């Protein structure tokens, strides 16, 4: 997928404690990064379901494709978008790139999560409201990207 397909970027700096003895980001941390990226993406979209009622999104599936290592103190750009909208779920993709201001791509990892809307009392999937579907579609079709998490 091209970076031009994404409308949200969150930038962060890798902390030493996120790395393993091999001097690269520990593999489990990639899902932490994916969670940060999705949280900031949802904030940019204006989506506020979490903690507000009897339903929440649960991660039904998560995959990480490792492309290139990430090292301590690197600055990363995490580009996120909704890849697919289903009846009860959203498939969200995050591409992690080494931060570059020249527009070039430096792909390090691709994370996909299927998030299912769940009734918390019954623990069963719920249909996604049309307004929620429209909210994500509208954001991902906007002309200009939204940036968050600037680092020095």
Q: Is residue 132 part of a domain?
A: yes
Q: Is residue 21 part of a domain?
A: yes
Q: Is residue 104 part of a domain?
A: yes
Q: Is residue 144 part of a domain?
A: no
**Structural domain total, the chain:** 1
Q: In terms of C-beta distances under 8 Å and separation of at least 24 residues, what long-range contacts does 100-106 make, across chains too?
A: 103/3, 105/2, 105/3, 106/68
Which residues are CB-neighbours of 105 under 8 A, at least 6 positions away? 2, 3, 97
**CA-CA-CA-CA torsion sign (123, 84, 133, 138):** positive
What residues are paired with 92 via a beta bridge? 82, 113
pLDDT value of position 29 = 98
Q: Residue 85 is part of a domain; what is its CATH number? A: 3.10.129.10
Look up the pTM and report it. Answer: 0.92
Question: For residues 115 and 100, what is the distance between their CA atoms, to the nearest angstrom?
Answer: 29
Q: Is residue 125 part of a domain?
A: yes
pLDDT tens for each residue of 21-72: 999 999 999 999 999 999 999 999 998 765 666 678 999 999 999 999 999 9
Range of the domain at 47: 3-139
Question: For residues 46 and 13, what is the distance between their CA atoms, to the nearest angstrom?
Answer: 24
Residue 131, CB-side half-sphere exposure with 13 Å CA sphere? 4
> 46's torsion region: left (phi>0), alpha (psi -120 to 50) or beta?
left
pLDDT value of position 49 = 63
Give the C-alpha distances (Å, rounded to integers) separating 10 from 20, 22, 149.
23, 26, 5
52, exposed or middle or buried, with CB in 10 Å at 0-12, 13-18, 19+? exposed
Q: Is residue 53 part of a domain?
A: yes
pLDDT value of position 2 = 85
Question: For residues 147 and 152, what is the distance between their CA atoms, to the nearest angstrom?
Answer: 14
pLDDT value of position 128 = 95
Q: Is residue 149 part of a domain?
A: no
Q: Is residue 38 part of a domain?
A: yes
């Amino acid at each position: 997928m091209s970076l031009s397909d994404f409308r949200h970027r969150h930038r962060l700096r890798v902390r030493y404690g996120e790395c393993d003895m091999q001097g690269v980001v520990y593999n489990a941390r990639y899902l932490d990064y994916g969670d940060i990226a999705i949280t900031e993406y949802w904030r940019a979209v204006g989506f506020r379901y979490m903690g507000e009622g009897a339903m929440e999104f649960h991660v039904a599936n998560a995959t990480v494709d490792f492309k290139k290592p990430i090292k301590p103190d690197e600055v990363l750009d995490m580009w996120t978008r909704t890849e697919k909208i289903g009846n009860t779920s959203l498939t969200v993709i995050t591409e992690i790139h080494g931060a570059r201001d020249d527009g070039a791509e430096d792909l390090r990892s691709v994370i996909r999560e299927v998030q299912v809307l769940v009734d918390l009392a019954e623990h069963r999937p719920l249909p996604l409201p049309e307004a929620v579907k429209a909210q994500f579609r509208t954001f991902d079709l906007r002309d200009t990207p939204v940036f968050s998490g600037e680092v020095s």
